[in-house]
Each structure stands twice: as C-alpha cells, then as structure tokens.
A and B are shown apart, each in its own frame.
Chain A
C-alpha cells in the first residue's frame, strides 16, 4: 500500500502551514507501514473524530469513519469495538473535545480498556471557535473568553490517564515526526486503550513552538515504562504550563498488559453482522415464563 491510498481528494480547509498537515501525514505513514507489515488491514481500519479543527481529518483520510459530535469521539470508538471486535479503531480528538466536553468518557475509556487508540491533537486551545482556553491552556492565556488572562491552571491528562488505569500512555510532539510515527504504530498495535497526547502548536491562536522546542526530550530505555510510580514521576515533570524550568518528556510513559473490554466479554468474538441467528419463538417465550 502507498500513502496515496490513504489520501482523499477533498479540499483541505486547515490554515496554511497548520501542524495538522504534518500530523495527518505522520499517521498515514504509520498506518501504511502497519498495513505493509501485514499487521492490520486497510478495510478493517475505522476512525472516529470529534468536532473542531482536528476533526476535519475525517475528510482527508481514506478509511472507514464516523464523524461524531463534539466531545463524543470515545463512545463511538468503544461502540465500534462492541459492534465488531475485528476493527482497528482510532479516535482523533482535540484537547477541548477530549479533556473538556468529553472528560467523563476519557476517564472511563482508561477503565474499560477497550482495544482502540486515542490520538489527541493537543494545541491547548479551542481553535475552530476562534481561540478560547481549554482545560490544558496555560494560566494567563489570553483569548476571546479570557481577555484579562485565564485564571485557572491546566490539568495534566497524562497523569489523569495513569491514575485512571490506562494501559498505554504516551505523549508525542508533532514536529518529531519519526518519533511520533513510531508512537502511533505502537499505540495501534497495543491491546487495550492507548492514549497519545500529541503536542501541536496552533499557528493562529496558540503557538508555543519556541517553548516546546527548547524543552521537549525523548524518554529512552532508562525509563521503565512498566512502573506506574515512575510513569507518574515523569508525568509530573511538566504540568502543561509555560514554566521556564520544565522539561517535557515525550514517548511512552507507561505500558502494561491488562484484559481488554472485548476479551472479558465471551459473547464478543466476531462481527455481529456475520452472525446468523436462529430465532426460535417457543423456546424464547418459555425462557421468560
């Protein structure tokens, strides 16, 4: 398979130079690799997106797709696995989408551990609504709804995912393309819920490129990604603020094996649409007597 097979001819409406172009291309390359390595099949890949700039990716990537509602990326992903466990499911969400409107789903997805990947386009801003603060925006952020500066401190989605029982927790940086591609491949192949929080400057409303470039570093083999306490320590190295002293680790914080939602449900073995049911009437009503 070539990358062209995952492209569409839809007119792209992201801003010129938007980091989403790079993110899209990286994900496509990762998927092409996995298909060519015969680890997944093109026909079985299914994505869901929320609503926001990130979500336009629905139109630009040639795979099965569910363009859902704002904040609701995760439930359809979980639902697709419940409807057909053979699908390779990838959710694309924004930071506002996932950590504001959809926070309950995010926490519970970590707990359910259904086998899908969640890629969060984290530009730390609501962009398509013209620049408001999200739960991960830095204190002091100036936007349409916070003209005098955001009063709250950001939340730390990596720490939240770890505390909520997620089995694959990673952070990527959109400008580290090769590194991000490998993360995407590892997340897609992980059995269970896999999160990659992808740091992604928004050139129009929130561009901390300089800040990130100076501080991002890659987790290497010295980090034990099977140790929750160490993962939490790494997660706490950066609180999503603009703290000048911070170091920002990217890579896999934590990765363990746990039974997935599907594995723990014996009736969920194959796509339902392939199951032919014999609907015996007398036997059925007897059961309810």
Chain B
C-alpha cells in the first residue's frame, strides 16, 4: 500500500501546512511518510507544492507519479497533471479546469456561508480526502484539534466536516501500529543540539538553515539556552568563538554564502583550538544561486574552509535520525578535542519530513571537558602525548589565553621556527587522536547485499535506499565522516565490489574527487544531478540500469 499526494498552490495558500497535517495524521496512524517541500524564493504568489508519500513500509523519498493532486490553483493542474497516475484523482474548486479525473468541489458557496477566508478551502479538501481513505470523522476532528487549536479551530473543523460529507469512502486505512516520529532534518538539528547540551546558538537568517534559528529561539526560555541573531555571519562566527572560549557549548548555523563569510573565523578556530560546531545547510549555488532549492555542492568547500592547515571535522548525516546522533557526536568531538566540526546538510534533508519507528540518541559523552580547578600555572596549549591540551576557561582562576597567532604553550605569541613546528606537530598529533575516535563512531554505513556498489553521502541516502528495492545486485555505501576521511574502510568496500557508481546532487562529483584523493580510486560511473532538485528513486534506478 502506497499513496502519493501532491498539494500545490500559490505561496500563502498553505500547501506546506496542509501537507504537513496529512503527514502527521498518517504518522499517528502508524504509517510511514515522506513529505517533500518545493517553493520559490518569494512570500506571496508563485508556485509552491509538496509531495507526500504514505506507505505501510519504510519510505525515505518522494516521486513524480501521483495518486492525488490537491489543486489550490490552476497552475498546479497545468504543471503536474502529467504526473497523475492513470487512476489518480485531481481535487480542486469547480472553477479549475483539468483534462481528466477531476473531482470538482464547489468551494465558494461553502466559504461564503461560513464567512471563511480562502485558505479554509484546504480543510474542505482535507475532509474529502480522509473520507476517501476511510478514516473516521471523529479521529480527523481530534487530530485537527490537536494540531491546529487556536481561534480558527471551529471554522477549520466545520469546513473539514463539510468536505468529509461530500467525500466517498473508497479505501480503508486502518491504524497500522503505534504512532511514528515525524520530523525534518532541521528539527533534528535542534533535537541533537539540545540532547548534546547546547548553551548558545548564534546565527544570521539564511535559507535553508533559518528554521533552526526559529525553533531554538522559541524554545530558548524553557530549554534555558541563549539564541542570538547578530549583524552578519562574520560577527556570528567570531562571537560564537568568544562564547565558546568563555565555556559555552556553542553552535552556529548558515548556508553557503554565510559560511563563506565565516571562513576566516573557521581558521581562527583551528589555530586557537576553540571548540565550535557549525551547521552548514547547503542550497544551490554559486552565489545567490537558486536559494530555496537543494544541492550538494559545498562539500569540498567545507573540507577546505579557512586559510592554513588545520583539522576540519566534516560530518554529513543522511536523514533526521542520523542527524540527531551526528550533532551529538559533533559537540562531543568539538568539546573534547577543542576542534571545529562542520555538519553538512542541505535543503532537502533540512526541510523534508521523515518518519521513524523510534528516535535514538547517541551514547557519546555530553561532558563539557573543562578541567576542574586548573593549576595557577595552567598552559592553554600544553604539549601532550595525544596532542590534546586540557581546556580551562576564564573565571576559573588561572589566566587562560586563546590566540590567532602562532604561540607557545602559554598562548604567548611566537615567530620562532622551532615553536611553529612544535605547535603544528601538536595540532596534527591531535588529528591522529581524533581519527581513532571517529573510527569508533561508524563513519560509514553499508546497506544491502549486492556485488555492485553505489556510493553517496548526505541527503541522497533516502532516494538511494528506496531505489535499492529495485536494484538487488547493488549495495549502498554511505559515507558520513568526510573529513578526516575513513580511507581504509572505503577502500575495502570498493575492493570488494564489481561495479562502482557515484551518486551526487552536484555537477562535478565532489565526493568522487575526495575518494580519488584519499584512496587513489577513480570512479568512472557517475550519476550527477544538478537541476537544484533532489533525486527521486526512479531517476537513480533508470540511470543505474543503463550503465
């Protein structure tokens, strides 16, 4: 059993709210849901749509073949009618025009009678749809009440009831099991950060990372955290380093353009060994690019950000569950090793909603790794066996120093060749220690049993996993730690495979380049998509079969 519903309309017509609600209802009935969101960069007008897939089996991607199209305007029909399945249905106001399978509802008299604004028509369609699916009116009303509440709830329920009466029970969707967890990658960033014990989040608004700023800002009082919006990303990154130096567990969030402005501060984090977690939510570039759409084109930028040689830990989670645990790992590594950790996500992962049976947190230590009662002669950059200098913070007693200059163990400036070498060696000894830790954190994952291998990273995980069902002779190697790169593990998988295929949401195959650099293996088969849209499984299956 699997149904795909597209909801389209102008910005402001509530496509996202409506599709999210449909997703919530099905996930609370125990179904698996994937909700994809597509919208241009504007506030009113244009064309927004969501594609929501509902299934009794796990599902992590959407498709372009629809069982239902809920059309809030004519453009939705014009653009998407070609994707309607043979027996599919288009639902919309009777004044709209469709070539086939049109279930028209005379919306205007209902709205007039209820004295309701246009956006309430969505609830009429919701009522109609859930009647079609055979879901009880009582359950629907309870869900509406829980999810919306507020002043307009009476109106919402009334219009949904009218839609329900107009519909015809055609299928019988029973409760499948316990409620599923339904969340986006951006929500997972918030969950992971709070689970890791974040104190301070600093950001400047930028799509698609803004949702993290919004949700943490809202939760700040009850979670006892501080959320700051500063004048630009340069201020954000440097202030975050100041807060971190003062002992706060600190994270910043941005997209490519803001990340570019942070580059100098990333280098400062590396030299000063000040912990920092950065959430980079990629969107389509270069420059302003296609701002509300997705891409995986900043991977090599993240791995190389900042001038000079220092360790950038780069982690790319593939779904919201993994995002939660990877954010915790990011804080753990950053705090313990006074390191820069960059979490690379993208619009597709950040703004799509996924379901999970359970949500797990990571078991990594959530200590601050700040020494208790540091000695009066504390050395901020003490040279140790594993390269990691114990961390003290100002206010504890001894003088604590952090610096952008090359320095001696006390953090005092030096230009002596000997110290420059010793401190570089110390920092890269620390990298070796970090690599040992990363090997314990499952830096890669392998799915399936085929003799051939698809390699990918980040948000393509969903579409690749769903395409494996039709590609039985393929395994999927997901690489989550991009830097330091788990070269030995990747080499082994490549060696044990016949055909190797790289799947990336960019034009050049950036992970492929990194694999070539780190393992010497050049991947010839590349499936690259760079139309600012995420993969759907059908594309991967078709292209893999052609190889």
Contact = CB atoms under 8 A, between A and B. Distances in A.
Interface residues of B, number: 65
A104 B248 CA distance: 25
A78 to B, nearest CB: 5
B247 interface: yes
A284 B247 contact: no
A130 interface: no
B483 interface: no
B235 A69 contact: no
B232 interface: yes
Contacts of A275: 199, 224
Contacts of A277: 197, 224, 366
Given A105-B231, A275-B199, A279-B197, A69 B394 contact: no
A58 interface: yes
B235 A104 contact: yes
A273 B238 CA distance: 19
A64 B400 contact: yes
Interface of B: 181-183, 187, 190-191, 194-195, 197, 199-200, 202, 215, 219-221, 224-226, 228, 230-232, 234-250, 264-265, 268, 272, 359, 361, 366, 368, 370, 393-405, 411-413
A32 interface: no
Nearest to B268: A69
A66 B402 contact: yes
A87 B245 CA distance: 12
A76 B242 contact: yes
B393 A84 contact: yes
Nearest to A61: B399
A277 B367 CA distance: 10
Contacts of B190: 288
Contacts of A146: none
Nearest to B224: A267
Given A78-B242, A87-B246, A59 B413 contact: yes
Contacts of B194: 279, 284
A79 B234 contact: no
Given A75-B239, A76-B242, A79-B242, A281 B195 contact: yes
A278 B428 CA distance: 34
B365 to A, nearest CB: 12
B395 A87 contact: yes
- Please indicate which of the listed interface residues A56, A86, A266, A272 has the most CB atoms of chain B within 10 Å of its own CB: A272
A285 interface: yes
B244 A83 contact: yes
Nearest to B415: A13
Interface stretch (A41-49, A168-176, A186-194): A41-49
Of the candidates A44, A48, A275, the one having the most CB atoms from chain B within 10 angstroms of its own CB is A275
A46 B238 contact: no
17 contacts: A10-B412, A10-B413, A48-B242, A64-B401, A66-B272, A72-B234, A72-B264, A75-B241, A82-B226, A83-B199, A83-B200, A267-B221, A272-B200, A272-B249, A273-B246, A281-B361, A284-B194
A68 interface: yes
Contact of B243 (A10, A44, A64, A82): A82
Contacts of B366: 277, 279
Contacts of B393: 84, 271, 273
Contact of B221 (A44, A76, A77, A266): A266
B91 to A, nearest CB: 28
Nearest to B235: A75
A8 interface: yes
A267 B397 contact: no
Interface residues of A, number: 52
A108 interface: yes
Contacts of B247: 83-84, 271-273
Contact of A65 (B237, B248, B264, B401): B401
A287 interface: yes
B197 to A, nearest CB: 5
Nearest to B190: A288
Ordered nearest first, which 4 A-B pairs have the shortest CB separation? A79-B242, A83-B246, A273-B247, A76-B242
A108 B395 CA distance: 26
B241 to A, nearest CB: 6
A277 B366 CA distance: 10
Contacts of A38: none
Contacts of A105: 231, 234-235
B220 A267 contact: yes
Interface in A250-277: 265-268, 271-273, 275, 277
Nearest to A84: B246
A72 B236 CA distance: 11
A104 B361 CA distance: 40
Contacts of A74: 235
A119 interface: no
A64 B399 contact: yes
Contacts of B359: 285
Contacts of B368: 273
A219 interface: no
A270 to B, nearest CB: 10
Given A68-B404, A271-B395, A272-B248, A75 B226 contact: no
Most A CB within 10 A of own CB, among B187, B244, B393, B395: B395
Contact of A46 (B197, B246, B370, B405): B246
A67 B541 CA distance: 54
B199 A75 contact: no
A108 B204 CA distance: 14
Contacts of A77: 242
Contacts of B197: 277, 279
B412 A273 contact: no
**Residue picked from A43, A51, A68, most chain B C-beta under 10 Å:** A68
B395 A44 contact: yes
B413 A87 contact: no
A56 B413 CA distance: 9
A169 B241 CA distance: 27
A87 B242 CA distance: 12
A63 interface: yes
B290 to A, nearest CB: 28
B248 A76 contact: no
Contacts of B183: 288-289
B518 to A, nearest CB: 31
B399 A62 contact: yes
B239 A78 contact: yes
Given A80-B242, A82-B200, A284 B182 contact: no
A64 B394 contact: yes
Nearest to B196: A279
A122 to B, nearest CB: 22
A284 B223 CA distance: 9
Contacts of B394: 43-44, 46, 64, 80, 84, 87
A246 B242 CA distance: 40
Contacts of B221: 266-267
Contacts of A75: 230, 234-239, 241-242
Nearest to B408: A10
Contacts of A281: 195, 361
A252 B449 CA distance: 75
